[in-house]
Amino acid sequence: MKNPKLQYLTDYSPSDAPWDAHRSVSDDVGGIYLLAAEYERYGARMASCGGLLRFGWSTLKETGETRLRLREAHFCRVRHCPVCQWRRSLMWQARFYQSLPRIVADYPDARWMFLTLTVRNCAIGELGEMLNRMNAAFQRMKVRKEFLPVQGWIRTTEVTRGSDGSAHPHFHTLMMVPPSMLSGDGYVKHARWVELWRECLRVSYNPNVDVRAVKPRKPKDGESLACATAELVRGAVAETLKYST
């Protein structure tokens, strides 16, 4: 017999609260799709997204802790489904984490930087065009002299809502760079990053740009420098990829 008090995943597993949170937002977005005839099919797909989740018990080798792990599920794969976006973010994090030990080993002296690139708010109806312009601008910036020393990067897009209902799209970029880009011949001042982004966007105003280094930390007792670096970068990657869509 079903227990009527157990309605949500968190009733069974409190640590899986993100499932319920994203599923709730997905219901809201799906409801909006259902209001437009041409998008009803997306709303219908989202209504059943993650409706059936099969979990199994799994023991973590590192700690011996036993917890529920997802074994089987059906996802709608609608581009703007909050559940699928969240799962996609976790997938990219996992892929990067798998590659991280080799990256740290191959580039032991590399440093890491956050670069956030913004534009002026635009109307919701102009968002698609603005994102196209931003993507084209980033492609132009990649071949500029100041950007060429960058050894690799990951970039995500976030769109927030202004107080007046306008859209505020911006890029979050995590870059792996040589030490010289932070304190050497390759150092790029904040004012120059603003100028570069303005030129690549082909706008007449100075867009907001935030650039900051990921500060290294000393290894803990018994911890190697490579492990300390990998753990540091893991946090930076999680911060960047949480915006992935």
Burial of 202 from C-beta contacts in 10 A (0-12 / 13-18 / 19+): exposed
Say how many C-beta atoms besides its own lie within 10 A of residue 55's C-beta.
16
pLDDT of 5: 54
| Per-residue model confidence as pLDDT tens for the chain (245 residues) | 455 554 556 656 666 678 888 888 899 999 999 999 999 999 999 998 987 778 788 887 767 777 777 788 889 999 889 999 888 888 888 888 888 888 888 998 899 999 999 999 999 999 999 999 999 999 999 999 999 999 999 999 999 999 999 999 999 999 999 999 988 888 999 999 999 999 999 999 999 999 999 887 777 877 777 787 888 888 888 888 776 65
SS (H, E, C) the chain: CCCCCCCCHHHHCHHHHHHHHHHHHHHHHHHHHHCCHHHHHHHHHHHCCCCCEEEEEEECCCCCCEEEEEEEECCCCCCCCHHHHHHHHHHHHHHHHHHHHHHHHHCCCCEEEEEEEECCCECHHHHHHHHHHHHHHHHHHHCCCCCCCCCEEEEEEEEEECCCCCEEEEEEEEEEECCHHHHCCCCCCHHHHHHHHHHHHCCCCCCCEEEEECCCCCCCCCCCHHHHHHHHHHHHHHHHHCCCC
For residue 174, the model assigns a pLDDT of 93
Looking at residue 219, its pLDDT comes to 76
Q: Which CATH number describes the domain made up of 101-241?
A: 3.30.70
What are the residue ranges of CATH 3.30.70 in the chain? 101-241
pLDDT for res 11: 59
8 Å CB contact between 143 and 136:
no
Provide the 10 A C-beta neighbour count for residue 172. 20
CB 68 within 8 A of CB 55: yes
Q: How far apart are CA 162 and CA 83, in angstroms?
A: 24
pLDDT for residue 55: 75
- Give me the phi and psi of 85, to 5 degrees please: -65, -45
pTM of this structure: 0.78
